[in-house]
A and B are shown apart, each in its own frame.
Chain A
């Protein structure tokens, strides 16, 4: 199997050809927004991070920004900084350049204010868009494809319809030489033994360590995870415990051996099934997987969610026919037909696989068509 993608200088292959404008710090958010307002073809993101952060928390924030900017779906990046931030914009730009990405950088203080910075940003943005337009799609093998998997707004049907169908498609991606990311570690608690059985000893140990971290955090806070996860919506949908949710979540990754465990926003080294350490919170998880190189994401949902990524197509799979009917504009595939008895699990799995290939070739799923561009970086320390 192959797809038609944008071959980047660093050997990666994109499924989109975006020009990204990224603030290195929240103080540059509005300047970035103003640049984007003038040039709507640019992809802009805003975030509340980049200053007064230290240690592993700062490193993770920086790694996420650099990874996101270097995702092969991005042709070039403009970093906009303030000038006095912890996440120094030129250092961030160097980090992005080191990953083989084309990057420009401007600063608000260095440009003597916002008016000049916006004008300069528009000028650079227009030039980057002109250059990006010269790139064309060419054939690429599945060894270049990293699929992110996600479930959000889960219900009891997630583990019966959409997640097993996504798992079917995930197995095909792996079979074709591609990579599949399974994430949201809190939603593996209680099901990790089933995944560990499919890993070598070292990888299994890393997986158990991630699970232990989650449970230690709950212990430190003295809380039952059930107060926050499963969420109120999950519970209303019939999910009773985190174990039950996890057992259903696990199906998304399919049935192939677990090859590697990576930190948040880290690009996998192995091909095949990989676990990434992300929270279950949808937007932080999505951002982490895309920063880790995922060029296409499949997102299953029972309660219905509009979430999309600024730079990667996110295909939505409904777990039940009722939500597929009610939120049709936000959803792409109906796996509810499996319990309705109108389609088999492999039939829905094959439809998801086809969607992945077509999305890689440029077809826009609902979230992309509707321009949902969610972005949030997972924080692991306080602001100082």
Chain B
């Protein structure tokens, strides 16, 4: 029979890092609490019959948050053979709180004293022997990030599962509490498994509703339980749950003072950094500067240099002539040469050309995440997000979305408030993801070559869209209400581990390469086919003039829709629609369309062709803005559908994004064209001004959902 090992511990203590190390998988790891929202399973690399389960991080086993319920139910109902309790050694006091609860559950528990490298670096000493004795279970020092100790813990866990030893909690509570607990034990003795007797009696003492429901005590039992609990509550003048919490912390406090020797106290280096980066005045400028540098370097500066090389040297000078020459030599048919050279290499190559840029972006994002800064950004943004009704927790999905929107949308699961969660799902893909990078680079390079801040500006435009959406939506009945308060543990700053950062970068970038080889490969093939063939009197034939192609016919139907935005030609229309499959396709489509063989975003031919599609530079900007903010790709729409769990909400979300994108594009094209490019004032400008007025009305109108319900509160708020 398979052995089941569960990894449990506080949020952000390294469970997923250890899980990846043990099972060889590559689950998303982030240096902030709450990255893992669902349990994940894998098999031990060294013993294929051992199943390891990575549980969401929790602070306690009380059933108050979703993660706690998931973890608790797993441990109670799935009976893992061993629980590996990860304890962050640099933060031992708070972490042991959960340990005291886990050891009561009647399962074999082994402690992995993780982050031991940080403990040693801080110069602290932990007496492992004494700790192990006091807690009643084995303790092994580990550093999951460096890969030390993990295997040892797993080996010991397997041995424990095979021998079937049970862990008995080493801690006891004060005498009156113990007396009350044994009173409860005698009430339920025989109705629960012997090894869980203590756990159940503690939970009953705490009046845990889920346990009360499950045990179905009779009326007499309930009465006696209540007598015991309220008797002690009166005696100690505290509620039962707080009594237990206090007892646990007291035990831990004593234990820590015996086993842990801290070298320093007071302000750590981490605190000193926090004083600066979360400073009231400096926090936002620092964040803006950091993101500016990240996007500037990865898109405009270093990215362009690397991409130029891939396009000009690798593709244009090496691959394309080689493939073209070879096809010529073997005498391939003209249409096949066209499909491969123009369609596949042109389209897929245009997208692949951006992969180096994406890698650079992901490299920076990984560093920012890993060092602990991103968790601070959530804290910094909380103050601003709160003003328009979202909490800083909503910023975490947005941080993830700057890589890819799909995990970003999934990360909204940690937001408890349903309205906040829906609103975050609807707005998180406004942040440009990696796949939108080629669109930015293309338009910025082709139309605005002298504006170096174009790429960073798109990131801040995304945040701007989130902010105005927040303000507008919060003033509607659907979303009104205060955001939930923000509480988040902040990890200590640390120097990013090169292996982790590179791995993280590779994992994210790999997904784009795979996409280029599959989805985009097929899409470019189809686009090539549609633009090469037309339907004439003699049926399907290969066209000379693209304007006679099937693609032009299809695009021509859609194009009028985009006319007010300034790109009412079939090429741009088709590119925009193909972006639904994957956003890279927007550029891929241009690559196929211009039939120039290899065209990367920096290819002079493509750069000179693209501007001809747009009436003015304002239209090109409108095209970019529309494509960055409209309905996301199908993968992200699928994620929205799963997370919203309602078709109605999914359509509403997609509709909202597309309408907002259209309105923004319209305003930019009409007013931008009038103000900067000499377009005369006409009906379009009037309509654009009406749109601006409507947006301002949505932003500035006063709305009070509690007009009648809570008069005094309203009066107070306005006073």
Query: Are A and B part of the same complex?
Result: no
